[in-house]
């Protein structure tokens, strides 16, 4: 069965960076986009960006441009999202999702930014 398993919760100080991983299994990893979506507690969903199946093209939300980088390692079927220059407003649950439709979601990774 298709699974996306994300890395564990992180606590970071303002200005630091965080890298969240998303281990995919149960399907051909190189056949689907991986997207990243975040959700601040009690609020809605925000699309952060995505990477194409080949891993050679990424698109990021403009408000995160310059701070976010999405990569993948096909040999271990894992995608990564790195966010730099963290601010308190980056405190959120981060999700990876599969494909154009986001038909499967990871369980979420809570990133807390606090001094």
Partner 1 sequence: DIQMTQSPSSLSASVGDRVTITCRASQSVSKYLNWYQQKSGQAPELLIYAASSLQSGVPSRFSGSGFGTGFTLTISSLRPEDFATYYCQQNSIPPYTFGQGTKVEIK
Residues making contact with partner 1 (CB under 8 A): 35, 44-47, 49-50, 59, 61-62, 95, 100-103, 105-108
Distance CA 112, CA 40 (A): 10
CA atoms within a 13 Å half-sphere pointing along the CA-CB vector of 105: 12
Q: Is 82 in contact with 12 (CB distance < 8 Å)?
A: no
- Of 15 and 112, nearer to partner 1 (C-beta) is 112
> In whole angstroms, how close is the CB of 18 to partner 1 at the nearest point?
19
> In whole angstroms, how close is the CB of 35 to partner 1 at the nearest point?
8
- Helix ranges (DSSP H) in 5-60: none
- Of 32 and 106, nearer to partner 1 (C-beta) is 106
> In whole angstroms, how close is the CB of 49 to partner 1 at the nearest point?
8
- Of 16 and 45, nearer to partner 1 (C-beta) is 45
Distance CA 58, CA 53 (A): 10
């Amino acid at each position: 069965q298709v699974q996306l398993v994300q890395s564990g919760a992180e606590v970071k100080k303002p200005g630091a960076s965080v890298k969240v991983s998303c281990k995919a299994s149960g399907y051909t990893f190189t056949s689907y986009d991986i997207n990243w979506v975040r959700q601040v507690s009690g609020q809605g969903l925000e699309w952060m960006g995505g990477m194409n199946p080949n891993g050679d093209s990424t698109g990021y939300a403009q408000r995160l441009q310059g701070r976010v980088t999405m990569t993948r390692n096909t040999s271990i079927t894992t995608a990564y999202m790195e966010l730099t220059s963290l601010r308190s407003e980056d405190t959120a649950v981060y999700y990876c999702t599969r494909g154009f439709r986001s038909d499967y979601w990871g369980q979420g990774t809570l990133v807390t930014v606090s001094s």
